[in-house]
A and B are shown apart, each in its own frame.
Chain A
Amino acid sequence: MSTETRLSIPRPKTIGLYVTLYGAALLFIAPYLYMLSTSLKTEAFAFSQQPYWIPPEISFRWYEAILNGTPIMQWLINTLVIAGTTTILVVILDSMIAFSLTKLDWPGKRIVFGVIIASFMVPIYANMVPLYTIISDFGLLNSPLAVILPFSAIPIGVFLFTQFFKDLPDSVVEAAKIDGFSTFQIYLRIVLPLMKPAIAALSLYTFVYTWNQFLWPLIVLQGSSSFTLPVGIVTMQPTQVFQPGAEMAGTLIAAAPLFIVFLILQEQLVNAVQMQGTTG
C-alpha cells in the first residue's frame, strides 16, 4: 500500500530534493550564461544595470575584435603544443618507469620508488624560484619546453601507473620472456596494449591539468607570442576602452576547446578523477 502512495503522490521530501538539486544546478549554470550572453551583447546592453540573460540584440563584434585584435589563435596553438607534448612525454616516461618498477628487478628500485612517492608532496609553487633560475640557465625562458619539462616530471603519473601495472599478472610477462621477447618488446607489445584504459585516463587528466596551468606559464613565458590561453586572456586588450563583451568573448573562446572535450569524454574524465580518490 505504501508503495502505491509513493508512486502516485511525490512525497514532500522528494520535492524538496528536486528543488534543492535543480536550484543548485541553475546557480551553477548562471556564470556560463553570463559569459555567453555578455559576449553577444552590444555595448549598451553589456554595461546595463539590468542583467539581460538573453540579449535583446545579438552582436558578434566582440568575437571579431578578439580574433583580429589579439593573438588568441597563437595562444591556442601554444597551449595545444604544450599540453599535447607534456601528455605524450608523461605517458612515455611514466609508463616506462612504472613498468620497470613493477615488472623488473634491479638494485635500488625500492629506494627510487620511495623517493618518487615522497616527492608527491613537493608543491611546484614552493619550487618555483630555483626552478626559474634553472630554466633560465638552460636558456629556455619563453620556450614551450620551459612549461613542458617541469610538468613531465610530476610523480602522480608514476604512482597511478604503478597501481595499474601491479594488477597485470607477472605470468604474462614471464610467458613473453620464455617466448623470446626482449624487455622492450614486452613493454611495447604486451604491457602498453593491456594498459590502454590507464593510459587513456592519465592522458586525459594530464592534458586538462597542463592546459589549465596558470602560474608557471605566467612566470616563464614572458612575450605575448609565447603565451598560453590562460595567461593570454588575462592580459588581452582588444579594445581601447575596457569592454565586458570583448572580455567574455575571449574567455569563451579560451574555455570552449576543453569544454567540448569534456562534454564528449565526460565519462573518461570523471573516471580519471575518481581513480585518484580510490588509489589515493
Chain B
Amino acid sequence: MASENTESVLQRLTQLGSVDSEARDGILFALPYLLVFSVFLLYPLLKGFYMSLFDWNAFNPSQSEFILFENYVRMVQDPAFFKAVRATVVFVVLTVPTLVGLGLALALGVNQDIKGKRFLRTVFFSPYVLTVSVVSLIWAGLYAPEYGPLNYYVGFLMSNPPSWLNSFTFAMPAVALATIWWTVGFNFVILLAARQGVPERLYEAARIDGASTWHAFKDITLPQMRSAIMFVTTVQLIASFQVFGQVFIMTNGGPGDSTQTLVMYLYRMAFRQQEFGYAAAIGYFLFFVLVSVSVINYKFIGGSDE
C-alpha cells in the first residue's frame, strides 16, 4: 500500500514534470535577468530605505545607529536641501517647456515641404548622441568670459557682458541653454514621427472647410499628437529633475550653491561628506517625486486615450 502510494506519487510527479516542462523552461529563461534585476535594482531599492533609517557609518556599517525617521526630519529642516530643490525646480521650469515647445516647432517645420529635410534632421538630432561631459566642456568654452565667442558678440550689444557661469542670474539659464541644445533632438525626432503619423486627409478636410492654419494646428495637430507630447513631457520632466552632469561640470554647483541641484546635493552628501543614511533618504525623496510625476502624467493627462 505504502509502495503503491509512492509509485503513484512518483508517476504524478513525472507527469507533472512533462506537462510543466514549459513552466520550467519559462522560469529558466526568466531567471538570468531576474537575478541581475533583483541584486542590482530591487535589493538596492529596499536597502536604500533601510539605510535611510540609520545614521549610516560608511566605513563600518555595523557601527550604524538606528534613528528611525530622523534623516527625513533633518531633510525637511535642512536649508541646503530646500535650496537644492529650488535650483532643481528652476532648472525644470527653464528646460522642460522649452524642450517640448522647441522640439514641436522644429518637428512641424521640418515636416513642411522643404528641401534638405534629412540634413536638418541630422543637425537637430546629432547633439543627443554626445555625452554630457562633451556638451558641458564645449559650452563652458562658448561661455568663457575672456576668450569665449559668445561674449565677443554680446560685447557689441553691451559694454560689460556677464561672465555667464559665474553669475547668480545667468548660471542656471546658461546651463539650461546647453541642455536644450543637447537633448531637444530627442523630442524633435519623436514628435516628427508623431506628426508624420497624423492622417493628411484630416488637413485636407479642414482646408475644404476653410479652416485657418492656426485652427488646423489647434484642432488637428495638437489633439492628434497629444500622446506623443505627453510622452516627451514626462521623459523630460524625469530627466530634468535628475540633472547632474551639466551643473557638476559647468558650474560645480556655483556660484554659492545657486546651481546645486538635488542629485548634486545627494552626490555631495554621499560621496563627499560620507553621509550615506541622509543621502539615502534624499534618494528616496527623489524616487517618490519621480514616481509621482510619472503616475500623475499617466493617470490624469496621458494614458487615457491609449
Contacts from A to B (Cβ < 8 Å): 14, 17-18, 20-22, 24-25, 28-32, 34-35, 38, 46-51, 53, 89, 92-94, 96-97, 99-101, 104-107, 109, 112, 115-116, 119, 121-123, 125-134, 149-150, 152-155, 158, 183-184, 187, 208, 211-215, 219, 229-231, 233-234, 244, 247-248, 251, 254-255, 258-259, 261-263, 266, 269-270, 273-274, 276-278, 280
Contacts and interface: CB of A to CB of B under 8 A. Distances in A.
Contacts of A276: 190
Nearest to A228: B131
B253 interface: no
B37 A126 contact: no
Contacts of A109: 26, 30
A99 B29 contact: yes
Given A31-B138, A112-B30, A259-B126, A214 B244 contact: yes
Interface of B: 21-27, 29-30, 32-34, 36-37, 39-45, 47-48, 50-51, 61, 106, 109-110, 112, 114, 116, 119-134, 136-139, 141-142, 144, 146-147, 149, 152, 181, 186, 189-190, 193-194, 228, 231-232, 235, 238, 242, 244-245, 248-249, 263, 266-267, 270-271, 276, 279-280, 283-284, 286-287, 290-291, 294
B276 A230 contact: no
A197 to B, nearest CB: 16
Given A96-B33, A101-B30, A125-B242, A214 B193 contact: no
Contact of B34 (A28, A97, A213): A97
A149 B141 CA distance: 35
Nearest to A109: B26
Contacts of A129: 48, 51, 266, 270, 276, 279-280, 283
A126 B286 contact: yes
A21 B144 CA distance: 27
Contacts of A255: 130-131, 134
Contact of A34 (B141, B193, B266): B141
B132 A214 contact: yes
A125 B244 contact: yes
B43 A93 contact: no
Nearest to A157: B33
A277 B33 CA distance: 24
20 contacts: A21-B109, A28-B124, A28-B181, A49-B147, A100-B30, A106-B22, A106-B23, A129-B279, A131-B40, A133-B47, A149-B40, A150-B41, A152-B40, A153-B39, A234-B136, A247-B137, A258-B131, A266-B125, A270-B189, A277-B232
A244 to B, nearest CB: 6
A127 B39 contact: no
Nearest to B280: A129
Given A126-B286, A149-B36, A29 B123 contact: yes
A49 B26 CA distance: 66
A122 B270 contact: no
B37 A116 contact: yes
Contact of B149 (A17, A34, A93): A34
Contacts of A105: 22-23, 26
Contacts of B126: 28, 259, 262
Contacts of A247: 137, 141
